[in-house]
Amino acid sequence: MVLVAIIAVLLVAAAGLMLTIQLEIVPLSPGEQVIANLRATPLIGQAIKDNPEAEKAIREAMLEDQREPVAPGVPARAYYAVGAVSRDYIRPMLAAADDTTVIAVMAARFALATQLRKDDPQSCRDFAMNGVQPVSQLTPDARLLFNDFLAKMENAYRNGRSNGGKPQPMAAPPEMIQMLTQTGFTNDDLEALNRFAALPSLRACDIDLKIDGAPPKLPPGKQGAFSRFVLTH
């Protein structure tokens, strides 16, 4: 859910660049503006830098979208190419990050979701579901927290790479249910989680906050495994 949110944010930003391209001394094509924006974005930019084949795949997808546009309502090929960066390069490194870094990501996510609930419950729900769209409409406080969240995600990604990409302990789904129950999840909460997409904004936001705020309520030996599951699913 976390990575889907980030990818959605990046794609919205990229689309915005294509619509608001500005010529400088050496003007860039809309496609190059998208690539430049992705390179400059925390986490995704680092992953592209570390894995040049990912940028090549995104470029090829954008060219194919230009040559043969998809049908209305169908996600562009570039959408899936950027999503593949998450699946193939980012998630494995988050799964390899140490406890300290993944727990820090969860704390940053909890702080952001708390601010979004205060500012606009709908934006909190959107963040939990599909990403904050668009980021430019966030309040200054929320934007700072979002930037911190992305920075913490990149730090966890780098940490996983420095560990050689070796997977660290991760909770299994049954363990996640047990741990959520330990942190205060009720049967009603678990039922709500199963129909998350249909929940009202405030209820969805509160469920997300319970998940994001769970690690400190768990024994130290379980906090990292819990966090890795959340960050890679």
Cis bond before residue 134 (omega within 30° of 0): yes
Give the confidence band of 27 by pLDDT, cuts at 50, 70, 90: low
What does the pLDDT average to over 79-94?
95
Q: Is 128 exposed, middle or buried (0-12, 13-18, 19+ CB in 10 A)?
A: buried
Q: Is 3 exposed, middle or buried (0-12, 13-18, 19+ CB in 10 A)?
A: buried
CB–CB of 189/78 below 8 Å? no
Question: What's the pLDDT score for residue 23?
Answer: 32
Question: What's the pLDDT score for residue 129?
Answer: 85
> Residue 93 corresponds to which tokens in the numbers above?
């490194």
Rounded distance between C-alpha atoms, residue 20 and residue 22, angstroms? 6
Give the confidence band of 135 by pLDDT, cuts at 50, 70, 90: confident
| Long-range pairs of 192-199 with CB within 8 A, sequence gap ≥ 24 | 196/128, 196/129, 197/129, 199/125
Interior/surface letters 135-156, b for 16+ CB within 10 angstroms, e for the rest: beebeeebbebbebbbebbbbb
Give the confidence band of 30 by pLDDT, cuts at 50, 70, 90: confident
Residue 130 DSSP code: T
User: What are the sequence ranges of the domains in the chain?
Assistant: 2-91, 94-231
